[in-house]
């Protein structure tokens, strides 16, 4: 299976981001199977590491104004969240 690529925006200092702990992020899919779905954003529970090889997928990190960090990180998406689902009943 090919390595997937995602990106995310951080509004805080990247050095303060906890590594290897489950966290909720908004990520964009940069390598979907269907090219028409590129840049689709979604909420996800994920594990993140500053090491590029720790987890199976690649994470490109952008700062608040869009500046891309030089070195990519790695990410493991644990669960895609549907924050906008309506509850029936």
Q: Does the pLDDT at position 60 exceed 70? A: yes
Chain centroid to CA 76: how far? 8
E-state strands within 1-89:
5-10, 23-29, 40-49, 57-63, 73-81
d(CA 47, CA 39): 20
The SS3 assignment for 54 reads coil
> Are 20 and 74 a contacting pair, CB within 8 Å?
no
d(CA 31, CA 60): 12
Q: Does the pLDDT at position 88 exceed 70? A: no
Residue pLDDT, tens place only, 1-56: 578 999 999 998 999 888 889 999 999 999 988 888 888 899 999 999 999 999 99
pTM for the structure as a whole: 0.85
Provide the pLDDT for residue 57: 96
**Using 50, 70 and 90 to split pLDDT, how confident is the model at 86?**
low
């Amino acid at each position: 299976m090919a390595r997937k690529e995602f990106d995310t925006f951080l509004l805080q200092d990247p050095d303060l981001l906890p590594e290897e702990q489950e966290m909720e992020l908004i990520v964009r899919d940069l390598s979907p199977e269907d090219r028409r779905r590129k840049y689709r954003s979604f909420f996800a529970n994920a594990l993140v590491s500053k090491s590029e090889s720790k987890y199976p997928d690649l994470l490109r990190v952008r700062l608040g104004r869009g500046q891309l960090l030089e070195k990519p990180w790695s990410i493991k998406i644990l669960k895609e969240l549907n924050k906008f689902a309506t509850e029936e009943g």
